[in-house]
Structure 1
Amino acid sequence: MRAAPTALTVIPALMIREAIVVNGRAVGGYAWAILEPVLGIALLTLVFSAISSVPPIGAVYPLFYATGYLPFLFWSQAQARLMGSARSSKALLEHSSVTIPDVLISRILLAAITSAVVMTLIYAAIRLIWAPQERIDIASMSGAFVMTGLLAFGVGTLNAGIAGLFPTWEKIWGIGSRPLFMISGVFFPFLMLPETLRTGLWWNPLVHVVGMTREAVYAGYDASYVSPAYVLGFSALAAITGLALLLSSDRVRD
């Protein structure tokens, strides 16, 4: 008698399926996962280097913007994939062996693996070409990466729960969250801002994960404002609330 599927077998299968859906079977789909952040960093470097020859931190613009853009992109793409879980996985959820936590975990794991590979390649290239003197603290960078993933899981799960009740929420969030790119520290070191702005922006958890990332790259970076406890608490509360909404929603079980 064949054993019933478990999470250990279901989640890898869902990850493979998700990889095909997101990137397709062609090499071009995976190449775009690297090309998109490279183009984003290149554009930021081109624009701001025309204004000033020296970045706010360090000696080269590509590294400075990579430490802001890459964690933000990881968070943005991962939470977006999780937000669409309830809508795009209805057929899968009809199978008794597949649960909504399985779908959420498979999506965040795939996003994390993809982003980890992309970030490693980009940071290695930047160091090799522009900043061989910089020494990245691998342990601190890993901690910042995990924190970013947890934040993406929490926000994505919460949005999935809300979208399960109110389908138009995906569009509302898509528009309403756009300013986050401007106010999450991608363009500026947090402590360079006026205190009145810092007081309000501190509550944006993305400011903390970007700060953690920059602390891992720049030895002299002042990240005294960063609170991992706040990010963990925010992520946990969002994830628990989102899961409660998803598991209680009749839409998930339609």
Structure 2
Amino acid sequence: MARSGFEVQQAVIKALFFREIRTRFGKYRLGYFWAVLEPAAHLLVLLTIFGFVMHRTMPDISFPVFLLNGIIPYFIFSNISTRSVGAIEANQGLFNYRPVKPIDTILARALLESVIYVTVYILLMLVVYMSGEYFEITNLLKLVLSWSLLIILSCGIGLIFMVLGKTIPETQKFLPIFLKPLYFISAIMFPLHAVPKEYWPYLLWNPILHAVELSREAVMPGYISDGVSLEYLGLFTLLTLFIGLMLYRTREEAMLTS
């Protein structure tokens, strides 16, 4: 019985997903441990540097929970988008098989990064909870939606830079430059309400900030971030994905034959 195009793509993505796992972790005995260590070490450093100051400025909020809900969403966005750019080169030989398309490699990598960081998030939140820090998931739907939109947004950005990078190789260098300032303007280490309101219209163009603050609202009772919007995050994500898919559709054959 012939399989549908969707079933074929599912099988391709599944195979690429397990290939990515072997490539990423197979040669290291503690490979899976390193996936947890990176965000945990990052969190520990920031807690050491800013913990005392932020405890004084936000006495009613658990700073580890606050920080964790900023770092992990940023890592998801950063890792999916940057790893998507090199997805074609890493899987070049597989494109001799007709069912394998460049977009499948992005979806497989995005799925792996999502699984890794959702797992890391759950583990670190449990560690934080057991250490005596308080949080409560007050809106699971908001948490799931904001993270889902962030993952789709990351795929859209990765798709855009993958296509541009295959067309004009120099453009691949712009993504890391683009990501670095986002770390400092996405409310990773500070709440939006700590910024003077006259700067909000500029900061709120950044969809990562919306995802971060919505994530905090979902797990921190009483934490309200005025100005952020799930609707804005959704619209920005859909627009980015649309642009990425349109670019991909026009350049797919050229990328496969280049």
TM-score normalised by length of structure 1 = 0.91
Residue of structure 2 in register with 1:17 after alignment:
19
Q: Which structure 1 residue ranges, 4+ long, deviate > 4 Å from structure 2?
A: 1-5
Identity across aligned pairs (percent)?
26
Q: CA deviation at 1:204?
A: 0.4
Q: CA deviation at 1:246?
A: 2.7
Residue of structure 1 in register with 2:50 after alignment:
48
Alpha-carbon RMSD across the aligned residues, in angstroms, is: 2.1
Matched position secondary structure for 1:72? helix
1:123 pairs with one of 122, 125, 128: 125
1:98 pairs with one of 97, 100, 118: 100
Higher percent of residues as helix: 2
Q: CA deviation at 1:61?
A: 2.5
Aligned partners of 1:49 and 1:61 also within 8 Å? yes
Q: Distance in 1 between matches of 2:54 and 2:19?
A: 45
Q: What do residues 28-80 of structure 1 show as CA deviations (whole Å, max 9, x unaligned)? A: 22111100000111111100124354353744322221111111111111111
Q: What do residues 99-131 of structure 1 show as CA deviations (whole Å, max 9, x unaligned)? A: 123222212111111111111101111011131
Q: Distance in 2 between matches of 1:73 and 1:41?
A: 12
Amino acid at match of 1:135: E
Matched position secondary structure for 1:27? coil
Aligned partners of 2:88 and 2:105 also within 8 Å? no
Residue of structure 2 in register with 1:198 after alignment:
200
Q: Distance in 2 between matches of 1:182 and 1:143?
A: 24
2:83 pairs with one of 67, 81, 84: 81
Residue of structure 2 in register with 1:247 after alignment:
249
How many residue pairs end up in the alignment?
Answer: 253
Matched position secondary structure for 2:224? coil
Aligned partners of 2:166 and 2:255 also within 8 Å? yes
Amino acid at match of 1:227: S
Residue of structure 2 in register with 1:136 after alignment:
137
Q: CA deviation at 1:134?
A: 1.9
* Mapped pair 1:237 → 2:234: no
Amino acid at match of 2:229: S
Distance 1:57 1:170, change over 3 A: farther
Matched position secondary structure for 2:30? helix
Distance 1:87 1:235, change over 3 A: farther
Q: Which runs of 5+ in 2 are unaligned?
A: none
Distance 1:180 1:3, change over 3 A: closer
Residue of structure 2 in register with 1:114 after alignment:
116
Distance 1:105 1:53, change over 3 A: closer
Q: Distance in 2 between matches of 1:55 and 1:17?
A: 46
Farther-moved stretch of structure 1 (182-191 vs 91-100): 91-100
Q: Which runs of 5+ in 1 are unaligned?
A: none
Matched position secondary structure for 2:169? coil
Aligned partners of 1:93 and 1:253 also within 8 Å? no
Aligned partners of 1:58 and 1:64 also within 8 Å? no
Residue of structure 1 in register with 2:170 after alignment:
168
Aligned partners of 1:49 and 1:55 also within 8 Å? no
2:182 pairs with one of 180, 183, 188: 180
